[in-house]
Structure 1
């Protein structure tokens, strides 16, 4: 492996949407300032961002233009893992995030032989509910992924950090590099769908319709795999049928003439439709957005927690503590504001960003900040 080139400064790239940071990581890989493979990503975020785009094919992961056109905020990390860019991912999440349980999750990502897309062997609801769980024998071109999830407690502490991070610290001691990635919604988080058509109590109705029943943890492995495949397929069918119904509504505004997939859901969807029209008689309802909101439910919800100033300070202190524990200076730092899509409260984002940048400048020398979002 060729020797890496040293960077004269520590670059900090600030983007608005999180997936836009990937281009900067690739740029430094191309310049041989980051390794071509097996990088460690330390990811502070209220969301995992570890899904897979539905239209992404395995070969797209090796074509930057195709990849960057297909990824979005919730699915930009794992395509890089399939390409070998990331090997170890440390997701540090606040107390209100529960999409993936804390602990070490070793799994594989690979090309699904039947479709040419990507699948994973991780038996968590986060993947099963998206139809992404795939049996190992159905994959080829597999890569190993180590995902370490650290969830802070209400006081911003985590007592067993040293146990869960020991393998990562050993790896950093060996390779002497990592990528530090921070989403500002780590410190304060909005679920933009919570108040969608709230006078009609839409959110709770969607939760009842879309919530996913998880695979029990106490089953034998073969039973879990079998049930995961069954539930994942059923979930995909359900979401596709509901998408068909809401897409029809967006065009026709009336379900009485609907004929097609998902007719069994018409009575429940009709109740939602009637309720929305009762409370918003003069409004042009965005039915595709209603379906998108429903798709955010699996066996958990999108996190929603608007932090106080004191909570933000506590989380900044926790971030500093973890940075100190890692004991290494990152090679590249990426930051996402996530304010225009309302995942980070727009009225808090500037203060949070200022606090994060002050912390980075305090902890590291040679910091050079690139406000990339201002160039857009």
Structure 2
């Protein structure tokens, strides 16, 4: 496909991060980006590299069905399976540890056993979601190269040199790439930290839901075997806990619960007692409490409200990295992430203004579209 050169760089600003995918599709359809194997440079406090639970593999080939089923944490991998992306570079701030820095080459494909999408990456981020499968159990698999770069205040540190060079080499290999920035890269909230805070809920959920990862020292074959076993056990646990909290949402107490998960009842009873002391039953959303618990694996959602100086330092680091890459992006997408509180609402406008000013300084030919304002009209 012969691409059409643009005389400007489109910048699409959306509120929810998954909304940027439609702009990437539009630019592919308009022949501004390649039809497949694109490179995505993704600045974010979160990887966004999960898979929607109700997504059938065939949904990835129907963009309208796809847009309906993706959300902020899982909009990228369906694009990999559909062939849009071949390389994803996740650039995260210093406080993020969901996936260790490094280079990962793995596959996403259709699990022969379940018919659902799965990945062959042995990181806890995937095992704890129950979506790990070894290569030989995946059909119609697509390759993904994931580069994870944790961007500290000084991007010239020796320990970052190799990973930064990997990013530079990747950009040098392609004629086009997509630059994607979530404003929560610069400052981020974990919206669940203060959920029913008076009941001291968050640490109790952490104790109940936290997942113990596969030991690092094991041989790869043993890790693969345990990856499936741990993933299946984790999914059984989460399904059982969802059933218990669903029961709670429909009944006055947990006393009459009969079903799997008896081992979890003492912990849940303590949670019920703590929450009940401080909040009227009518005000308690038990399924929201379960969803908050599901955010724990062997880590938790990042929570770091940055000072103005920290934001300035990160802005400088981003500018340095973009300068080092030299090549300008073909398309830029930006997510505000303030309605869901992942970017602190009281900081979002200032961060957005700084990011857009940085982009205009680096790439004078930018054309900014505040698409989220059109969505609100």
- Regarding TM over 0.5, the answer is yes
Structure 1, 172-181 or 81-90: larger mean CA deviation: 172-181
Question: For residue 280 of structure 1, what is the aligned residue in structure 2?
Answer: 279
Aligned alpha-carbon RMSD (Å): 1.4
Aligned residues: 375
**Preserved contact between residue 118 and residue 133 of structure 2 (Cα < 8 Å):** yes
Deviation of 1:252 (Å) = 1.5
SS at structure 1 position matched to 2:36: coil
Maintained 8 Å contact 1:111/1:142: yes
Mapped partners of 1:300, 1:74: distance in 2 = 16
Q: Which runs of 5+ in 2 are unaligned?
A: none
| Structure 1: stretches of 5+ with no match in the other structure | none
Matched residue of 1:144: which SS?
Answer: strand
Other-structure match for 2:224: 225
How far apart are the structure 1 equivalents of 2:334 and 2:255? 48
1:185 aligns with 2:216: no
**Number of the residue aligned with 2:174:** 175
Name the residue aligned to 1:93.
92
1:341-356 matched pairs, under 5 angstroms: 341-356=340-355
The residue that corresponds to 2:317 in the other structure is: 318
- What's the offset of the Cα at 1:175? 2.6
Q: In the alignment, which residue of structure 1 is the partner of 2:336? A: 337
Q: C-alpha offsets along residues 309-331 of structure 1, whole Å, 9 cap, x if unaligned?
A: 00000000010011011111100
- Aligned residue for 1:223, secondary structure, equals helix
Tell me if the contact between 2:152 and 2:317 (Cα under 8 Å) persists in the aligned partners.
Answer: no
Q: Which residue of 2 aligns with 1:306?
A: 305
Q: C-alpha distance in 1, partners of 2:330/2:149?
A: 22
Q: Are the counterparts in 2 of residues 48 and 99 from structure 1 also a CA contact under 8 Å?
A: yes
Contact 1:152 1:158 in 2 (8 A): no
In the alignment, which residue of structure 2 is the partner of 1:202? 201
In structure 2, the residue matched to 1:112 is: 111
Query: 3-state DSSP class of the match of 2:283?
Result: coil
What TM-score, normalized to structure 1?
Answer: 0.97
Q: Secondary structure at the match of 2:96?
A: coil
1:16–1:373 CA contact under 8 A, matched in 2: yes
Distance in 1 (alpha carbons) for counterparts of 2:278 and 2:170 = 56
In 2: Cα distance, 1:129 partner to 1:220 partner: 19
In 2, Cα distance between equivalents of 1:88 and 1:130: 22
Aligned partners of 1:156, 1:308: CA distance in 2, in Å? 19
Q: Which moved more, 1:29-38 or 1:297-306?
A: 29-38
Q: Which residue is 1:40 aligned to?
A: 39
